[in-house]
Amino acid sequence: MTIEITFNDRTYPVHEGESVLDGLERHGVAVPSSCRNGVCQSCLMRATSGEVPASAQSGLKPTQKERGYFLACQFKPTGNVTVALPDAADQRRFTARVVEKTRLNPTVSRIRLSKPQDFQFKAGQFMRVYRDGESRSYSIASMPQQDYLELHIKVFPGGHFSSWLCQTVQVGEELTIGEATGDCFYLADNLDQPLLMIATGTGLAPLWGVVRDALAQGHRGEIHIFHGSYVRDGLYYMDEFAALAAKFPNVRYYPCVSDDPTESQALRGQADVQALKHFPKLNGWRLYLCGNPDMVNTMKRKAFLAGASLKDILADPFIVTVPRQELPEAPAA
Amino acid sequence: MSQAVNAAPKSLYDRIGGDAAVNAAVDIFYRKVLADDRINRFFEGVDMDRQAAKQKAFLTMAFGGPHNYTGADMRRGHAHLVKNGLNDSHFDAVMENLAATLTELNVPAALIAEAAKIAESTRNDVLGR
Ligand SMILES: Cc1cc2nc3c(=O)[nH]c(=O)nc-3n(C[C@H](O)[C@H](O)[C@H](O)COP(=O)(O)OP(=O)(O)OC[C@H]3O[C@@H](n4cnc5c(N)ncnc54)[C@H](O)[C@@H]3O)c2cc1C
Ligand code: HEM
Ligand code: FES
């Protein structure tokens, strides 16, 4: 029996007992690798169709396992599979119509899009929005059972996509979006696990999805949500989260303001610092960290040192890159 | 492959508990290393998950588990650290953290000594001598 691996729309026959890594390399396909023994994770790939055995997923995060990630050096297919390198997986495009646009605060707008027919996602994942050959990632704040996709977009001064989305795009317009990706979603593997969610700015978007999804799936453990901003004006959805906390006794919501010493309704200080002050020991907790990359990376490390297992730290740094400046001496494109 | 036919005596890796033992040790070991001011600067990779995966590679090796690293790989893999001052004192610190990790996991002293011996055997390669 021949076994076939499909990669980048091409099909490669492999031997029985041959790993995806060996098989693809034999056909001249370059796949990153190092230890070839399932430990370094250099050869991380994702199966978009076909069965992946647990032995090919040892050491991966639960959220990665659920999405079909595997180690190419450990996966010896016994049937046909379609595989992709981690980032090349999100290549499908969809069209979505803007159905609602609302200001949430002076810098953040909410945009709701009609959900395309076969668009699949888990609450908390993000997707790309495309325009003129460029794209940016935005997190989905709605839940899969809702018929719209909700985005929270913060306008950056001079930012190409954010100012276009917040200021120019009109209700009724059609946007091109990509597949949902990302590991920051709820896993119903332990309904009693305490969850600590920390967001800065629009990092709240994925958490608005994740927390409601967790509750919809019957999560019983404590859920603590810290939302931080420099000033109160940067916060939003305070009423929505307060209502959620009022309805579910296991949910607590902590708005935090770092740069306004006169603040009286929110905690004073940074969200991550406040969270650790409340919960200095994180053994057994699962964390969701979203927003400012400095906060996310610092908190990831602090949470790990405070006892959380790396597998239980799910992080979405909202990396914003300053577009490359055109140098005067650069040749015209 | 490498672990397929392992006639007696069982390897240290198997006696310690194989892949599951390594997975249990990674978090503990990496947490110790990050908290250890003598050496944490060498491990401040941007991507903690990748760094942790490399610690897994290290522990698998120290447990005598299946790996394809040669002495030359160890030289190449640590050369950039040697350039940044990696020396015997740092190597000793890693050995200490390794032993403390295994102690925390209640691994018997005799097996810890075996793991230490395997790690120790890479000293000259790791330090590029
Ligand atoms: C996983 C992920 C999820 C995300 N989710 C969200 C989300 O839910 N909500 C959200 O609001 N954002 C999110 N982001 C950020 C988002 O993808 C964009 O990076 C952000 O909207 C800025 O894009 P832009 O096109 O507006 O800015 P760009 O045009 O890309 O500019 C980026 C930065 O450079 C500055 N800049 C632009 N031009 C110049 C210039 N000529 N000189 C100097 N500086 C300049 C801008 O002010 C801005 O600060 C996410 C990012 C990631 C990676
Ligand atoms: C005790 C013996 C040691 C062994 C057996 C060992 C083994 C390894 C292995 C197998 C890797 C993974 C290589 C890869 O697949 O990319 C690695 C990476 C690494 N080791 Fe060691 N190591 C040892 C000592 C040390 C010491 C003493 C330090 C520093 C204090 C150190 C720091 C690192 C770092 C920082 C990396 C990651 C390098 C990168 O970013 O690519 N190691 N080591
Ligand atoms: S090459 Fe290291 S895990 Fe596959």
Q: What domain range includes position A105? A: 93-178
pLDDT given for residue A1 in this prediction? 66
Is A332 within the bounds of a domain? no
A147 and A224 in one domain? Answer: no
Number of A to B CB contacts under 8 A, please give it. 52
Is A269 within the bounds of a domain? yes
Tokens found for residue A136: 């940016």
Q: Report whether residue A14 contacts ligand 3, using a CB cutoff of 6 Å.
A: no
d(CA B116, CA A172): 66
A216 and A291 in one domain? Answer: yes
Look-up: residue for tokens 């199966």? A47
CA distance, residue A313 to nearest chain B CA (Å):
10
Q: Please state the atom number of ligand 2 nearest to the C-alpha of residue B61.
A: 5
d(CA A217, CA A186): 9
Is A188 within the bounds of a domain? no
Domain B12-126 has CATH 1.10.287.70: no
**CA closest to B19 among chain A residues:** A58
Amino acid occupying residue A99: V
pLDDT given for residue A331 in this prediction? 42
A240 and A121 in one domain? Answer: no
Is A189 within the bounds of a domain? no
Q: Does the predicted TM-score (pTM) go above 0.90?
A: no
d(CA A84, CA A77): 14
Report how far apart, in Å, the C-alpha atoms of A129 and of each of A162, A320, B69 are.
Answer: 11, 14, 42
Torsion sign (Cα): B108, A58, A301, B34: positive
A298 and A199 in one domain? Answer: yes
Residue A298 touches chain B, beta carbons under 8 Å: no
pLDDT given for residue A179 in this prediction? 82
- Concatenating the DSSP letter of every residue in B113-124 gives HHHHHHHHTTHH
Residue A170: exposure state from Cβ atoms within 10 A (0-12, 13-18, ≥19): exposed
Residue A295: left if φ>0, alpha if ψ -120 to 50, beta else—which one? Answer: alpha
Hey, is A134 helix, strand or coil? Answer: strand
Is A12 within the bounds of a domain? yes
d(CA B88, CA B91): 5
Ligand 2 centroid to residue A68 C-alpha, Å:
29
pLDDT given for residue A330 in this prediction? 40
Amino acid occupying residue A15: H
Pocket perturbation via mutation, ligand 1, pick of A142, A290, A297, A318 by most ligand atoms within 8 A of CB: A318
Residue A297 touches chain B, beta carbons under 8 Å: yes
**CA closest to A299 among chain B residues:** B48
Of A37, A67, A88, the one marking the end of a domain is A88
Cβ separation B34–A305 shorter than 8 A: yes
Tokens found for residue A245: 């906390």
Interface confidence: ipTM more than 0.90: no
Q: What angle do CA B126, B128, B129 make, to 5 degrees?
A: 115
Is A186 within the bounds of a domain? no
Q: Please check the confidence at residue B13 and state whether its pLDDT lies above 50.
A: yes
Q: Report whether residue A72 contacts ligand 1, using a CB cutoff of 6 Å.
A: no
d(CA A71, CA B95): 29
Residues within a 6 A CB radius of ligand 2 = A 34-35, 40; B 39, 42-43, 45, 54, 57-58, 61-62, 69, 77-78, 81, 86, 90-91, 94, 119, 122, 126
Chain B contact set for A34 (CB, 8 A): 57
Look-up: residue for tokens 């180690």? A71
Hey, is A126 helix, strand or coil? Answer: strand
Residue nearest to atom 18 of ligand 2 (CA): B54
Q: Please check the confidence at residue B45 and state whether its pLDDT lies above 90.
A: no
Residues of chain A where predicted confidence (pLDDT) is lower than 50: 90, 326-333
Residue B4 touches chain A, beta carbons under 8 Å: no
Q: How confident is the model at residue B1 (pLDDT cuts 50, 70, 90)?
A: very low
Q: Where are the domains of chain B?
A: 12-126
d(CA A207, CA A186): 10
Of A56, A88, A120, the one marking the end of a domain is A88
CATH number at A55 reads 3.10.20.30
Report how far apart, in Å, the C-alpha atoms of A159 and of each of A136, A291, A322, B104 are.
Answer: 11, 17, 9, 50
Chain B contact set for A297 (CB, 8 A): 46
A164 and A58 in one domain? Answer: no
Question: Strand pairing partners for A291?
Answer: A317
Q: Please check the confidence at residue B35 and state whether its pLDDT lies above 70.
A: yes
Q: How confident is the model at residue B49 (pLDDT cuts 50, 70, 90)?
A: confident
Cβ separation B23–A59 shorter than 8 A: yes
Radius of gyration over alpha carbons of chain A, in Å? Answer: 21
Instruction: Give chain A's domain count.
Output: 3
